[in-house]
Chains A and B, each alone.
Chain A
Amino acid sequence: MTGLAKFSGVVDVVARLAVLAGVFLAFTVVVGPSFASPGNIEGICMQSAVYVMAGLGMTMIMIAGGIDLAAGSTIALSMVVTSMILKHDGGQNPALWTPLAVLGGMAAGMLVGMVQGLLITSLRIVPFIITLGGLVSIRGLTKQIADNQEISPPANWLYQNLMFPVQGRTLNWQLFPIGVWATLVAAVGAGLFLRYTRLGRRIYAVGSNESTARLCGVPVERTKILVYAIGGAFAGLAGILEFSKLNLGQPTGAQMYELYIIAACVIGGTSLRGGVGTIFGTVVGALLIGILNIGAQQAGWPKQVQEIVIGLIIIAAVALNQLRGQEKRS
């Protein structure tokens, strides 16, 4: 049985990678060989990195049986907080203020995540509603903090390194900017966390059967609050990546990102009902969305056609997952 289970796990991984490769090849055919150039692949990875980073937290939240509709607003909040800290320094003392800016963006995300978790557990209102409220009011809070202005700090380390393309005419062996590598490290860490820590396993237990978890002494409420705090922190980190792309803190940035992030998780096999999901799946899902975004653009499809196609592909991917799941169950 284990052998079979492991085998089906391998099939799962291979199948997901095959779909990813298939979509990539399809766009290469449509767009031309430039689509597979190092610079373009780098661009896709940079686009996906933001979804992956926030998707790590979203995956955990969804495994615990929740959802975070406020992820996009949280990303914007973190962008603004990060840029304000950097602007405050004005480039005088980067060795101190760059880490502080990163910490600030992450802490802001963590804080709003924790507040949402506290509201969900104390008011006993479904996460959908609480985070729908969060989606709106965190966006408002962000605009308030930024005084409705885009914040542009002077040139800084984050802008120059984190998400600055490294590929030129010849292949650069760093392959990706630091931000993409950092995202990869975070993903591996999150995967290990879910698999090998008590808290990680309890996140699955809470999402799979909350009353059983409670019966067995798992502190369900605390686990949920922690999950939302962690999720917020990852959205905060995603905000720092997003900020670094343009060196801008846009209070209206990252609109609708929550939908792409949730789509990445769901395409990757995370269940909206909780208890099921993997970091690997989310990474693949985010890459797929990155390829679709950039591929559709470069194929010259009008914006509205891009939207139609991406929406349909999200539905198809989830339907496919579900079909495979049913096969496995029988």
Chain B
Amino acid sequence: MTDPVTSSDVLLSMRGVHKRFGSTHALRGVDLDVRAGEILALIGENGAGKSTLMKVLSGAHAPDEGRMTLAGEPYAPRGPLEARNRGVGMIYQELSIAPDLTVMENVLLGVEPGRGPFVSWRQMYDLARAVLTEVGHASLDPARRAGTLSVAELQLVEIARSLSLGARVLVFDEPTSSLTRRDIDNLFALLGKLRAQGLGIVYISHFLEEVRAVTDRFIVLRDGASVGAGITKDVSDADIIRMMVGRQVDDLYPRTPHTPGPTVLRVDRLAGRSKPVGASLDLRRGEVLGVAGLVGAGRTELLRTIFGLDPVKRGTVTVASHVGAASPARRWRQGVGMVSEDRKAEGLALGLSIADNITLSKQSRFVLPSRQNRECEPWVKKMSIKCRSPRQVVGDLSGGNQQKVALARLLRHGVDVLLLDEPTRGVDIGAKAQIYQLIDQLAVAGRAILMVSSYLPELLGICDRIAVMSRGELGVARPVGEWNQHDLMAEAIRQTSGEVSQ
């Protein structure tokens, strides 16, 4: 920590906190102090350890090493409930609301007022009204069903829930991600008010504008460690970004020269249900086009809309000479394949065999296991999938091998266009290198690859061109030589021009 913090005004403090999951060292030495009456920004890339840190604070995970104190007393919550009762409230991105209950019941869930076994609706109403007034929304009817509220109102209900339990520290995780500009202004006003009342607030955000607008101090998390801290108004954006990124691109990445051919996939002003709001791109044979951006920017939705998994609202997708309606079955027939970011829930049928998974997209009418095996064996060998036989259940394989099965499906199908969503997520470094090599070979062989990744070094390492997505809009794809991590990050966290008010 750069500035001396006297113990008297520190509300919540973490010192040298470590957390390991198996071989992953998710937190490697985090120091953090929140004082009463301040807003602390917690900044970091995707995967820097912010969510693990939140889970440690909320009691969902116990730290392996390190010390935490709350108002000078040891703080080691054994679960979310204890954290709440000690006065540490969490406002997650995914709001935690029972939609069929009324607002007042949601605010007072678990601590309903009343006598004996009976609840008192009157007291519940009055208490909820009082705390809703406190969060500046006196007009919200406590008797309304929570399912009818807007996201911003639900967020207020959650804040009210924490306050009604006497929260002293509030942790907000990306609280503006689905709010409108006006709601954001209201939220900021509320944060200022809570700060004035002496609460300590941790504000997690990617958006530097927001960090500047509401926070007093900041800490930067990278690779699970706190790597920088300071006063928000004394630091430049460039310095924060340098602290966030600050690592080297090594030579994991093969670079065979690619020769781009004709365009096979053209996306023109594509808009989906909520995201993307407008995306245009041209993908040519023999090239790797990367899409960078933050989680929630709409990158996954872009791929899903192209592939026909999400509905197209406006705009067109042209595959070779095919235009018109999109559905996954149609895309497969047109020679387009997709690897989902969610391997377990969507990408693979975990209970089925490797052979079943690989052949799922294109099967003959009669499925003979022997023929299936024969067909899969070359791919198992080529992808060096470690398994006993093609009949082994995919759920038994490691993450890296599972991902190779997902990719093998596209290769065996013989697709020309590969849509890859976070193809190396949850994959060990060895398998990563193999996947990079494979993508490179595919491009050399004239296939077209559109790849989404949150890991900037890999995009810079293997892509020919990169475009950045921010709040549903896709920027211009520029040659990789014109990008560096700093610029990609700056582009990803810029407020889209349309979103800025006044």
Residues of A near any B CB (own CB < 8 A): 1-2, 5, 196-201, 204-205, 207-209, 211-213, 215-218, 275-276, 329
The smallest beta-carbon distance between B187 and chain A, in angstroms, is 21
Q: List 28 A-B contacts (CB under 8 A).
A: A2-B144, A5-B144, A5-B145, A196-B118, A196-B121, A197-B118, A197-B119, A198-B117, A200-B119, A201-B105, A201-B112, A201-B119, A204-B105, A205-B98, A205-B109, A208-B98, A209-B97, A212-B96, A212-B106, A212-B109, A215-B80, A215-B96, A216-B110, A216-B111, A217-B81, A275-B99, A276-B100, A329-B148
Tell whether B141 is near chain A: CB-to-CB under 8 Å.
Answer: yes
Which residue of B81, B98, B105, B141 has the most chain A CB atoms within 10 A of its CB atom? B98
Contact A205 B111 (CB under 8 A): no
A residues in contact with B141, CB < 8 Å: 1-2
Tell whether B238 is near chain A: CB-to-CB under 8 Å.
Answer: no
Contact B119 A207 (CB under 8 A): no
Number of B residues with CB within 8 Å of any CB on chain A: 27
Rounded to whole angstroms, the CA-CA distance of A208 and B99 in the bound complex is 6
A residues in contact with B161, CB < 8 Å: 216
Rounded to whole angstroms, the CA-CA distance of A205 and B145 in the bound complex is 12
Rounded to whole angstroms, the CA-CA distance of A201 and B104 in the bound complex is 12
Tell whether B479 is near chain A: CB-to-CB under 8 Å.
Answer: no
Contact A208 B110 (CB under 8 A): no
Tell whether B143 is near chain A: CB-to-CB under 8 Å.
Answer: yes
User: What secondary structure prevails in chain A residues at the interface with B?
Assistant: helix
Residues of B near any A CB (own CB < 8 A): 80-81, 84, 96-101, 105-106, 109-112, 114, 117-119, 121, 141, 143-145, 147-148, 161
Contact B110 A217 (CB under 8 A): yes
Contact A208 B101 (CB under 8 A): yes
Rounded to whole angstroms, the CA-CA distance of A211 and B112 in the bound complex is 18
The smallest beta-carbon distance between B111 and chain A, in angstroms, is 7
Rounded to whole angstroms, the CA-CA distance of A216 and B160 in the bound complex is 13
A residues in contact with B110, CB < 8 Å: 213, 216-218
In the complex formed, the residue of A with least CB distance to B121 is A196
Rounded to whole angstroms, the CA-CA distance of A211 and B79 in the bound complex is 13
Given contacts A215-B81, A217-B111, A218-B109, contact A209 B143 (CB under 8 A): no
Rounded to whole angstroms, the CA-CA distance of A201 and B97 in the bound complex is 14
Q: Which of A5, A198, A276 contacts B114 (CB 8 A)?
A: A198
In the complex formed, the residue of B with least CB distance to A276 is B100
The smallest beta-carbon distance between B144 and chain A, in angstroms, is 6
Contact A212 B98 (CB under 8 A): yes
Contact A275 B98 (CB under 8 A): yes
4 tightest A-B CB contacts, nearest first = A216-B110, A275-B100, A217-B110, A208-B98
Q: Which of B80, B100, B118 contacts A208 (CB 8 A)?
A: B100
Rounded to whole angstroms, the CA-CA distance of A217 and B121 in the bound complex is 19
Rounded to whole angstroms, the CA-CA distance of A173 and B223 in the bound complex is 80
Rounded to whole angstroms, the CA-CA distance of A207 and B161 in the bound complex is 19
Contact B98 A204 (CB under 8 A): yes
Contact B96 A211 (CB under 8 A): yes
The smallest beta-carbon distance between A266 and chain B, in angstroms, is 16
Q: Which of A2, A197, A216, A275 contacts B109 (CB 8 A)?
A: A216
The smallest beta-carbon distance between B181 and chain A, in angstroms, is 25
In the complex formed, the residue of A with least CB distance to B114 is A198
The smallest beta-carbon distance between A6 and chain B, in angstroms, is 9
Rounded to whole angstroms, the CA-CA distance of A215 and B98 in the bound complex is 11
B residues in contact with A196, CB < 8 Å: 118-119, 121
In the complex formed, the residue of B with least CB distance to A6 is B143
B residues in contact with A329, CB < 8 Å: 147-148
Q: Which of B80, B84, B144 contacts A1 (CB 8 A)?
A: B144
Rounded to whole angstroms, the CA-CA distance of A217 and B108 in the bound complex is 11
B residues in contact with A215, CB < 8 Å: 80-81, 84, 96
In the complex formed, the residue of A with least CB distance to B158 is A212
Q: Which of B97, B114, B119 contacts A212 (CB 8 A)?
A: B97
The smallest beta-carbon distance between B100 and chain A, in angstroms, is 4
Rounded to whole angstroms, the CA-CA distance of A209 and B111 in the bound complex is 16
The smallest beta-carbon distance between B106 and chain A, in angstroms, is 8
A residues in contact with B97, CB < 8 Å: 209, 212
B residues in contact with A217, CB < 8 Å: 81, 84, 110-111
Contact A209 B96 (CB under 8 A): yes
Contact B118 A204 (CB under 8 A): no
Rounded to whole angstroms, the CA-CA distance of A200 and B117 in the bound complex is 9
Rounded to whole angstroms, the CA-CA distance of A157 and B101 in the bound complex is 44
Given contacts A2-B144, A198-B112, A201-B112, contact A209 B119 (CB under 8 A): no
Q: Which of B98, B101, B118 contacts A198 (CB 8 A)?
A: B118
Rounded to whole angstroms, the CA-CA distance of A106 and B109 in the bound complex is 32
Rounded to whole angstroms, the CA-CA distance of A5 and B81 in the bound complex is 33
Contact B143 A5 (CB under 8 A): yes
The smallest beta-carbon distance between B322 and chain A, in angstroms, is 35
B residues in contact with A276, CB < 8 Å: 100
B residues in contact with A209, CB < 8 Å: 96-99
Rounded to whole angstroms, the CA-CA distance of A5 and B106 in the bound complex is 18
Rounded to whole angstroms, the CA-CA distance of A309 and B84 in the bound complex is 54
A residues in contact with B84, CB < 8 Å: 215-217
A residues in contact with B114, CB < 8 Å: 198
Rounded to whole angstroms, the CA-CA distance of A197 and B121 in the bound complex is 10
Contact B109 A213 (CB under 8 A): yes
Rounded to whole angstroms, the CA-CA distance of A196 and B105 in the bound complex is 12
Rounded to whole angstroms, the CA-CA distance of A164 and B27 in the bound complex is 73
B residues in contact with A198, CB < 8 Å: 112, 114, 117-119
A residues in contact with B109, CB < 8 Å: 205, 212-213, 216, 218
The smallest beta-carbon distance between A295 and chain B, in angstroms, is 34
Given contacts A2-B143, A5-B143, A218-B109, contact A213 B118 (CB under 8 A): no
Rounded to whole angstroms, the CA-CA distance of A209 and B144 in the bound complex is 17
Rounded to whole angstroms, the CA-CA distance of A209 and B99 in the bound complex is 7
A residues in contact with B117, CB < 8 Å: 197-199
Rounded to whole angstroms, the CA-CA distance of A197 and B105 in the bound complex is 12
A residues in contact with B81, CB < 8 Å: 215-217
The smallest beta-carbon distance between B406 and chain A, in angstroms, is 29
Rounded to whole angstroms, the CA-CA distance of A216 and B217 in the bound complex is 31
B residues in contact with A199, CB < 8 Å: 117
